[in-house]
Structure 1
């Protein structure tokens, strides 16, 4: 803890950076979405090239899957740069279908756990909310994209505030010279 207290200012800078990012995301959601898509594209390209390189260096058993994975990742990166709108929409659909499928599985688990636990209805309600969220994203994808960016922005601001508060609490633990 003493080591962390010595670099309390680093925690403070992280918090301030998160707050600034969050505010900018809330002020300029369209630009934020585009930047996230560009970062994803850059990551996918780098990941693809390294995976492809690994594929050519591995044995015959895992080589094909690594090469295929690398090519798919490179293609995803290219698509993100060429068609950023489609990429952001694809991300929304991934989140929507994940919410629907995980919600259905939570509902089924809640029903199956009725005899084992009490208050299983909480899991069923959580699953139903997840399904509704996924369906709403599919019905209104434009609003869903904007909402995702806003959630990122709000999270960043709250996280930043927590880090700033933590930095001053940690600073008090530093030994006084």
Structure 2
């Protein structure tokens, strides 16, 4: 099974991902402060649950796990990250800015590499290349301009999400057509 077959069989997942990205972007445009608070609350909740579970597993595996101490430290660090997120949201927002920047650059690079692999299998792979380039430019902008403000970041994230989501929807629809062609070929 080649990459095109795999992607085209899962076109609906890409479509859902694109729609969710567009919805997130539109909601963030209209309510950036609420979006930031929600994102920070989700991070704090995740860090707290992760930390508690790690501490619990470390304590329960103390007698059989020679690395239980490292697991305990990781759990405590997650709990501290939750507390910092809740008590010093500005620090967390800045760290989140750098995290989003690194994520966007990494995703962009992967998308460009994926487009190179698809170049010989589909036409118009430029959609994926464009998505990758936009991701890298977005990540680079965040790194170069951290003082732009978190609300500006949220508006940029929202714009990025809408553009990325729209491109994902376009690619999903192209893959749907391709899957239909593959299915017809296999049925004949």
Which category of TM-score, normalised to the shorter sequence, fits these structures? 0.5 to 0.7
Q: CA deviation at 1:79?
A: 4.7
Q: Please, which runs of 5 or more residues in structure 2 have no aligned partner?
A: 100-140
Q: Please, which runs of 5 or more residues in structure 1 have no aligned partner?
A: 99-128, 138-142
TM-score (norm 2): 0.60
Partner in structure 1 of residue 171 of structure 2: 166
Partner in structure 1 of residue 119 of structure 2: none
Partner in structure 2 of residue 133 of structure 1: 145
Q: Distance in 1 between matches of 2:6 and 2:166?
A: 22
Q: CA deviation at 1:11?
A: 1.9
SS at match of 2:79: helix
Partner in structure 2 of residue 91 of structure 1: 92
Q: Is the 8 A contact 2:85 2:92 kept in 1?
A: no
CA-to-aligned-CA distance 1:134-160 (integer Å, 9 cap, x gap): 4xx2xxxxx511122122211211110
- Residues matched between the structures, number: 136
| Aligned match for 1:19, one of 11, 18, 22 | 22
Q: Is the 8 A contact 1:45 1:73 kept in 2?
A: yes
Higher Cα radius of gyration: 1
TM-score (norm 1): 0.63
Q: CA deviation at 1:73?
A: 1.4
Please give the residue correspondences for 1:150-161 in structure 2 after superposition, counting only pairs within 5 Å. 150-161=155-166
RMSD of aligned residue pairs (Cα, Å): 3.0
Q: Distance in 1 between matches of 2:74 and 2:177?
A: 49
Q: 1:8 to 1:64 in 2, by over 3 A?
A: closer
Q: Distance in 2 between matches of 1:60 and 1:21?
A: 42
Q: Is the 8 A contact 1:96 1:133 kept in 2?
A: no
